[in-house]
Structure 1
């Protein structure tokens, strides 16, 4: 497969996954900002947490003088000048899909094209008419539909592999950033919040819901969420679809299945990261410092993404 084609497929899926992840963060942060248990009065901190996790808080601060709910929601969801907004991610995904129209199925193209057309309509009308929760649910639904169309219609060839590569690298990065953003937002205070307190419960529950893991947590642990168990599940449980280990396991298998020798550096990195996670325990992670460990892993996932790009996606 040509590097340019592989790159377009890879980034198409990354941008779609990123849009869904942004919608998950925005929905949960917005809900928390309306709750008295959030403990922040105006709820700006909870919305700022989404900007922090997405890496766009500095861009927001450069544009606006102060945190404002209306401005943050627009910047995060519909701002076409913000490359990290949901609007921009869906636009980029559609552009990449158009470039590889001949390598994806009609169902996939029709889904992503219809998503973009509806996104433009939502942007022209504004979130006020649509509603934040409704908008976020729509983004997640469109992502699920595209993933279903992909799984059900495309051949299991290199194109499918690069689509899945983009999905799982983006998903692994998002899980790490959500955990780390919570630490950065609340700092040492987050460790002092009692796991049995209402505030602690809502903080951890919001994180689990953002990753569609609330029901899985209740099935596995059957008690109120706490730092150790939430971290263990989201980092080290291979049976939780959005956990870090589950994503890295998929990446390891996908890269190992790709032909040729150019990908050996990426394959080696994925295998090493997979082995590290498989044989890590939550006790040693917490003992070394959760924030430092997450920061290190964010860097490793970023490095893996760069190595995948250098191995497969650079145009020679």
Structure 2
């Protein structure tokens, strides 16, 4: 496969997944902010989602204060924010158009129709009382795109780069979202119960927690589920297992050729599968998650270097 095609497929998937992650995070932040009695607590919810999105610095350059309206505008429609829902779907569509012949009709239709609807959507339909419905629409459109890929793509290199982008973006988002709430997961107080529920909701894992543990919510178990339990599709270990599986398949398809990205992914997966939540909490949840965010960014760069930039040289 041409390296430019691989790059476009990889980033199409990353941007599509990112749009859904932002939508999910905004929905949870909105619900939690409405439950916060103190203004400072409400502001902290919105600031937390800015940090998780990686866009806090850019936001503060443009907006004087953290307010719900400004945060929603920044994360939904602001074109100055490369991680806004609008920017992500636009970037996904642009990458998809570049490699249209590598996509199935259903995939291209799902991505293109989403963009065409979004760009014509009045601002009133993406804010205020309409925000909840809009965020659900974004999630449904991404699910449709992912489903089209799963149901209609050949299991070839194109498919693997799409899945690789999705898995890597999901790992990054999982670490970031959990890190934003690391402090309250370190406190075993029933006063944090609603916050613990919010963490699970961020990963669509409320029912999964009850299925796995069949007990009341405990912060250490929430962290264990989201980091170390392979049953949860969005857990760090599940994401890295998928990344390793895809990288190995790509290597087989290229005569066994491997690079630094394969070693980095395998090392991180080994660390997760052999780790324990007690050791992670003893190290410090924030310190561990910061390390995971850095590792995931480094792995993304290594994949680019090995499969895209080197191939173009």
Answer whether TM exceeds 0.5 for this pair: yes
Task: Tell me the equivalent position of 1:204.
Answer: 196
Deviation at 1:268, TM superposition (A): 1.4
1:267 and 2:276 correspond: no
Structure 2: runs of 5 or more not aligned: none
1:243 and 2:243 correspond: no
Task: Tell me the equivalent position of 2:284.
Answer: 289
Matched residue count: 308
Work out the CA distance in 1 between the residues paired with 2:301 and 2:59: 26
Task: Tell me the equivalent position of 1:303.
Answer: 298
| Contact 1:262-1:311 at 8 Å conserved across structures | no
| Contact 1:78-1:123 at 8 Å conserved across structures | no
| Contact 2:160-2:246 at 8 Å conserved across structures | yes
Deviation at 1:230, TM superposition (A): 0.5
Partner SS state of residue 15, structure 1:
helix
1:47 and 2:46 correspond: yes
| TM-score (normalised: structure 2) | 0.94
Deviation at 1:257, TM superposition (A): 0.8
Deviation at 1:118, TM superposition (A): 1.1
Work out the CA distance in 2 between the residues paired with 1:85 and 1:55: 11
Q: Deviations over 1:95-150 (max 9, x none)?
A: 00000000000000011000001111225545247711111101110010001100
Work out the CA distance in 1 between the residues paired with 2:25 and 2:277: 24
4+ long deviations beyond 6 Å: none
Q: 1:122 to 1:48 in 2, by over 3 A?
A: farther
Matches within 5 A, 1:162-173: 162-173=161-172
Task: Tell me the equivalent position of 2:249.
Answer: 257
Q: 1:132 to 1:193 in 2, by over 3 A?
A: farther
Q: Deviations over 1:190-225 (max 9, x none)?
A: 63461x22xx11111111111111110011223332
Q: Over aligned residues, Cα RMSD in angstroms? A: 1.6
Q: 1:274 to 1:262 in 2, by over 3 A?
A: same
Q: 1:59 to 1:32 in 2, by over 3 A?
A: same
Work out the CA distance in 2 between the residues paired with 1:25 and 1:169: 18
Partner SS state of residue 31, structure 1:
helix
Q: 1:193 to 1:121 in 2, by over 3 A?
A: farther
1:220 and 2:215 correspond: no
